[in-house]
């Protein structure tokens, strides 16, 4: 039964249930297996009296014969029919061999059914996402790369740069193939233009030959998508030229076409991570992340989606690593890994560290074994190109690895009396925590955090701590920038822009007892619960999106240039509209903080 419990506890929306309701649900599971192609829900059948959760495998949602969505492990379906009492509008069939858990009507089973809030289908993007050539999950990773070949403009090497740029932009593509008399093709990408023409290194009237990369990396059109993907990782390129059997170029495949832009369905990267059979293969898959982030950015995927995609892949990489390391580093007690910070909120940037904590079910005597196993995992994580927390929030340290009983009592102590040094920092870190293994065990730490037994002193201190992260607005009209040191005249966007908003989101989470979700989701819940006005919440969400997008833009440029990313910007480098907008955002954050300060001090006082 533990498997059912752990699985459900690790999935939205079931993660929102309390322990008793989770138990009820786990006991009511009925598991059914569907081989590929089998219908699970028929279109227009009797209204369902149950819903389904995918456990392993994948199912496709079919609308009048067209596949409109693909659902993987943890995804729920059938709830629309169950809740509406209407016949299912869309059919669901197994895209591969799939194990599903069937759950009865939660409204009669659970004590708090209202805690289950399901996502509904309906957006146009979702419905149009998987059409045409795209098939199921396994289908896509194993499909030949020829499916994704884009015909791109071709030109001669002596054509002026200016004309090639026009060719590329007229075609709506991001690169051109350059044909040479010797038959060995070259490639020129929009990145070459940005890097070398934009910098003045190559003039617009010079022949494109000066920009060309030649020979190009080619891939046979019949190569499976997954293999082509790894090829790109190995060589750190975003494009491959697809050739036919005779070596004749057919067009170009791009990283972004192989991965899906849909956050909850980043098929190929996740497939590469999930199928990694050793550390080397996992490292290859993980090293794909920065290039993928760049491509997603270039295609215009919304920044917060990119953050979610990166988080999903880091999650699965960590899970895969725990699985691979289980054989060599077994702590000997049930252990749950928690991710912390932006990764827990699914708001990561490509350069974000992986912050972790660990809880085990056992006594203090297991500490050494747990920590040495954790050290091994963190070392392996770094060999895959993901960095542990530079500030020490790591699962192998005594602060962040504790047996369950001690996490419980320590957290209970903090929420009663937060005066001990470091208490609030730890509390806020735990409020941003999410289990990635043994979810039921990991959740107990968080449950202790949001337990109703919190003292007014704790909430008071937490608000003070939250409001201490101020945006850089001063008495004068412009920004407060660093006055000395390396970043003189610059503005720390992460500390000054992002942190005040994420702190407010976290505060809302702790006060309402529901810390799930991203910062925008938390803030909007805060408005729904009356902690913030709708206007305030939307202002904060807007500010959050703006700052996050600026930070991500900087990271993308840093990846392209092969330099470390910076969280600093010089206000003078921003265009005036962005600068004004940013200043307005900071002001608005400041206003919300002031309002909370005066009002809540009174209420809590």
Partner 1 sequence: MLRRLTGRVPGGRPRAIPGWDSLDLPWREAELAVVDLELTGLDLKRDEIVSYGGVVVRGGRVVASTVVYGLVKPRIPVTAESIAIHALRPADLEDAPGLDACVEALAELLTGRVLVAHAAWVERAFIGRAFGEFGLRLDGPVVDTAALARELGLAPRGAETEPSLEGLASGIGLPLHTTHHAAGDALTTAGLFLALASRLDRAEPQTVRSLTNVSHRQSLGAQRRPFPF
Positions touching partner 1 (CB under 8 A) are: 1-4, 7, 26-35, 55-57, 97, 99, 102
Name the residue nearer to partner 1 (CB basis): 15 or 469. Answer: 15
For the sheet with 356-360, list strands across it: 401-403, 356-360, 335-340, 433-435
> Least separation, in Å, of the C-beta of 106 and partner 1?
15
- Residue nearer to partner 1 on the CB measure, 27 or 603: 27
Closest CA to 317 of 364, 368, 270: 270
Q: 513 near 450, Cβ under 8 Å?
A: yes
Least separation in angstroms between CB 408 and partner 1:
23
- The C-alpha atoms of residue 23 and residue 110 are separated, in whole angstroms, by 10
As a whole number of angstroms, the distance between CA 571 and CA 491 comes to 7
Decide: 583 and 473 in contact? Cβ < 8 Å.
Answer: yes
The set of residues, in sequence order, having a beta carbon less than 8 Å from that of 92 and lying 6+ positions away, is 39, 40, 41, 52, 59, 60, 61, 62, 71, 77, 78
Q: How far is the CB of 487 from partner 1 (least distance, A)?
A: 49
Which residue from 424, 383, 404, 596 is spatially nearest to 510, judged by alpha carbons? Answer: 424
Task: State which residue, 334 or 590, has the beta carbon closest to partner 1.
Answer: 334
CB of 4 to partner 1, least distance (A): 6
Tell me if 548 sits within 8 A of 469, measured CB to CB. no
Whichever of 27 and 112 has its CB closer to partner 1, that residue is 27
CB nearer partner 1, residue 323 or residue 580: 323
* Count of beta carbons in the 10 Å neighbourhood of residue 406: 15
| SS3 at position 201 | coil
- Closest approach, Cβ 211 to partner 1, in A, equals 47
* Exposure of 30 in the CB half-sphere (CA atoms within 13 A): 8
> Least distance from C-beta 327 to partner 1, angstroms?
13
d(CA 464, CA 600): 10
- Provide, rounded to whole angstroms, the least separation between the CB of residue 30 and partner 1: 4
Nearer to partner 1, 40 or 481 (CB): 40
Nearest residue to 59 via CA among 69, 51, 50:
69
Of 46 and 486, CB closest to partner 1: 46
CB of 33 to partner 1, least distance (A): 4
Smallest distance from partner 1 to CB 268, Å? 18
Taken as a whole, the chain contains a residue count of 605
Shortest spacing between CB 97 and partner 1, in angstroms: 7
Between 295 and 438, CB nearer to partner 1 = 438
The string of DSSP letters for 154-166 reads: EE-TTSBHHHHHH
Q: How far is the CB of 99 from partner 1 (least distance, A)?
A: 6
Work out the burial of residue 249: count CB atoms within 10 Å of its CB; fewer than 13 is exposed, 13-18 middle, 19 or more buried: buried
Closest CA to 426 of 452, 400, 454, 458: 400
CA angle 232, 235, 241 (to 5 degrees): 55
Minimal distance in Å, beta carbon 224 to partner 1? 19
Q: Yes or no: say if 339 and 436 are a contact pair by the CB < 8 Å rule.
A: yes
Q: Which is nearer to partner 1, 4 or 337 (CB)?
A: 4
Strand partners, 221: none
State which residue, 424 or 439, has the beta carbon closest to partner 1: 439
DSSP string of 89-146, one letter each residue: SSEEEESSSEEEEEEE-HHHH-S-GGG--------HHHHHHS-TT---HHHHHHSBGG
Q: 324 vs 569, which CB is nearer to partner 1?
A: 324
Toward partner 1, which CB reaches closer, 30 or 163?
30
Calculate helix-pair angle for 303-325, 367-383, nearest 10 degrees.
120
Among candidate residues 201, 212, 151, 222, the one with its CA nearest the CA of residue 179: 212
Min separation Cβ 90 and partner 1, Å:
22
Cis before 215 (ω within 30):
yes
Q: Which SS3 state, helix, strand or coil, does residue 471 take?
A: coil
Q: Which CB, 30 or 478, lies closer to partner 1?
A: 30
Shortest distance in whole angstroms from residue 8 CB to partner 1:
11
Q: Smaller CB distance to partner 1: residue 23 or 179?
A: 23
Contacts of 557 (CB under 8 A, 6+ apart): none
Taking the complex as a whole, the smallest distance from the CB of residue 2 to partner 1 amounts, in Å, to 6
| CB nearer partner 1, residue 42 or residue 425 | 42
Q: What is the CA 595 to chain-centroid distance, rounded?
A: 32
- Burial status of residue 266 (CB atoms within 10 A of its CB: 0-12, 13-18, 19 or more): buried
């Amino acid at each position: 039964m533990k498997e059912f419990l752990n699985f459900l506890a690790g999935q939205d929306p079931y993660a929102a249930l309390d322990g008793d309701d989770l138990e009820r649900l786990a006991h009511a599971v009925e598991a059914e297996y569907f081989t590929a192609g089998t219908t699970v829900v028929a279109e227009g059948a009797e209204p369902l009296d149950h819903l389904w959760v995918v456990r392993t495998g994948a199912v496709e949602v079919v609308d009048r014969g067209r596949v409109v969505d693909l659902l993987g492990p943890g995804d729920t379906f059938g709830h629309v029919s169950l809740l509406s009492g209407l016949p299912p509008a869309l059919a669901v069939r197994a895209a591969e061999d799939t194990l599903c858990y069937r759950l009865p009507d939660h409204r009669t089973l659970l004590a708090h059914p209202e805690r289950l809030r399901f996502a509904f289908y309906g957006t146009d993007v979702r419905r149009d996402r998987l059409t045409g050539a795209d098939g199921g999950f396994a289908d896509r990773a194993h499909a030949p790369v020829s499916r994704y070949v884009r015909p791109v403009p071709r030109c001669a090497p002596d054509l002026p740069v200016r004309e090639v740029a026009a060719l590329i932009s007229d075609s709506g593509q991001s690169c051109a193939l350059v044909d040479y008399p010797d038959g060995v093709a070259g490639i020129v990408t929009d990145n070459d233009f940005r890097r070398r023409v934009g910098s003045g290194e190559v003039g617009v009237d010079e022949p494109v030959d000066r920009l060309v990369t030649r020979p190009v990396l080619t891939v046979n059109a019949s190569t499976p998508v997954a293999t082509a993907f790894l090829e790109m990782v190995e060589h750190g390129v975003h494009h491959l030229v697809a050739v036919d059997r005779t070596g004749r170029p057919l067009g170009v495949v791009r990283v972004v076409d192989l991965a899906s832009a849909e956050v909850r369905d980043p098929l190929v990267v996740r497939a590469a991570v999930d199928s990694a059979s050793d550390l080397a293969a996992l490292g290859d898959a993980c090293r794909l992340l920065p290039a993928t982030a760049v491509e997603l950015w270039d295609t215009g995927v919304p920044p917060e989606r990119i953050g979610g995609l990166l988080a999903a892949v880091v999650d699965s990489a960590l899970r895969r690593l725990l699985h691979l390391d289980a054989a060599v580093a077994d702590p000997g007690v049930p252990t749950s890994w928690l991710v912390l910070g932006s990764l827990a909120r699914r708001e990561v940037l490509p350069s974000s560290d992986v912050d972790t904590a660990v809880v085990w079910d056992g006594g203090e005597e297991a500490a050494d074994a747990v920590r040495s196993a954790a050290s091994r995992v963190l070392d392996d994580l770094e060999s895959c190109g993901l960095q542990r927390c530079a500030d020490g929030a790591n699962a192998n340290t005594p602060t962040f690895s504790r047996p369950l009983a001690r996490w419980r009592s320590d957290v209970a102590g903090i929420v009663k009396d937060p005066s001990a040094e470091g208490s609030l920092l730890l509390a806020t870190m735990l409020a941003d925590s999410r289990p990635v293994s043994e979810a039921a065990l990991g959740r107990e730490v968080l449950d202790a955090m949001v337990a109703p037994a919190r003292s007014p002193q704790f909430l008071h201190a937490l608000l003070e701590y939250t409001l201490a992260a101020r945006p850089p607005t001063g008495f004068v009209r412009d920004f407060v920038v660093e006055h000395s040191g390396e970043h003189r005249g610059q503005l720390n966007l992460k500390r000054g822009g992002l942190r005040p908003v994420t702190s407010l989101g976290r505060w809302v989470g702790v006060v309402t007892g529901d810390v799930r979700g991203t910062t925008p989701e938390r803030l909007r819940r805060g408005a729904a619960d009356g902690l913030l006005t709708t206007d305030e919440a939307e202002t904060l969400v807007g500010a959050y999106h703006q700052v996050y997008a600026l930070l991500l833009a900087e990271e993308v440029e840093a990846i392209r240039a092969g330099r470390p990313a910076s969280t600093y910007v010089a206000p003078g480098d921003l265009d005036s509209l962005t600068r004004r907008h940013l200043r307005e955002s900071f002001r608005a954050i400041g206003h919300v903080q002031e309002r909370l300060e005066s009002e809540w001090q009174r209420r809590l006082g």
